[in-house]
């Protein structure tokens, strides 16, 4: 998952009453940076990424967090690495931001193929479009075609807006520094869709 999604979704989940952990598994630590956190070597994603046995720990660690929290948001590094495979094993839901581009959609197909091949089919894949520019006819046609082929796409689309880019400048979730902005409202809608899929009621605080 990309940092903008992880940071905003985790914030909105916490705001609606779920006890939430955001775990930055990307060794580049962009989500940590975006929340003014400092890296902690003891729980470094680099250690989890080292080898197959080390990454088995991820499932064990997420299991132990499972009992204490309502939601665990894992920001995974890009690419199909060993760590990603272990995230797929540990997660119930995989949020997949898709830029309307052929290669991004191809990655979604590859992911579906990989999951079918491994048999880890109890994971729920929730793709949604991000970085969308509806003025581009290519975005329009790619989105229309993809929605026909992949019925599980969430309805909410996140446009390519500069408010969202500011997350790494303000170092805060968008709904925290610009709660009334159209972009924050779209993330709130995205979160409502995710909350409906993961099945628990959204409780107001
Ligand atoms: N819809 C958007 N519109 C504008 N800027 C965005 C949007 N989504 C993300 N960004 C910005 O782009 C930068 C990269 O964020 P992104 O969410 O793509 O995460 P990432 O973790 O770098 O991606 P990946 O893990 O796939 O490499 C950040 O500065 C973020 O604020
Ligand atoms: Mg990332």
- Write out the two tokens for 138: 């290519």
Nearest CA owner, ligand 1 atom 31: 165
Buried b (16+ CB within 10 A) or exposed e, 153-180: bbebbbbebebbebbeeeebbbbbebee
Which ligand is located closest to the Cα atom of residue 132? Answer: 1
Nearest CA owner, ligand 1 atom 13: 165
Average pLDDT over residues 153-165: 97
Q: How much is the mean pLDDT over the chain?
A: 89
- Residue-level pLDDT at 54: 59
**Number of domains present in the structure of the chain:** 1
When pLDDT is cut at 50, 70 and 90, the band that residue 203 belongs to is: very low
Residue 118 lies in a domain: yes
Residue 147 lies in a domain: yes
Domain extent at residue 132: 3-198
Nearest CA owner, ligand 1 atom 3: 160
pLDDT tens sequence across 186-201:
999 999 999 999 876 4
Q: Is the pLDDT of residue 96 over 70?
A: yes
126 C-alpha vs ligand 2 centroid, how far in Å? 17
The pTM of this model reads 0.92
């Amino acid at each position: 998952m990309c940092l903008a999604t992880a940071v905003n979704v985790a914030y909105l989940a916490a705001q609606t009453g779920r006890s939430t952990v955001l775990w930055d598994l990307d060794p580049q630590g962009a989500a940590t940076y975006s929340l003014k956190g400092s890296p902690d070597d003891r729980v470094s994603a680099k250690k989890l990424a080292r080898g197959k046995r080390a990454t088995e720990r991820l499932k064990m660690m997420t299991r132990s967090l499972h009992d204490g929290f309502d939601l665990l948001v894992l920001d995974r590094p890009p690419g199909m690495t060993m760590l990603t495979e272990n995230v797929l094993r540990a997660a119930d839901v995989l949020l997949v931001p898709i830029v309307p581009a052929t290669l991004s959609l191809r990655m979604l197909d590859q992911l579906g193929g990989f999951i079918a091949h491994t048999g880890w089919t109890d994971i729920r894949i929730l793709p949604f479009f991000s970085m969308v520019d509806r003025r581009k006819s290519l975005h329009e046609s790619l989105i229309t075609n993809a929605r026909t082929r992949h019925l599980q796409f969430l309805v909410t689309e996140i446009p390519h807006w500069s408010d969202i880019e500011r997350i790494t400048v303000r170092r805060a979730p968008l709904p925290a520094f610009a709660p009334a902005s159209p972009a924050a409202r779209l993330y709130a809608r995205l979160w409502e869709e995710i909350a409906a899929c993961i099945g628990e009621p959204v409780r107001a605080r």
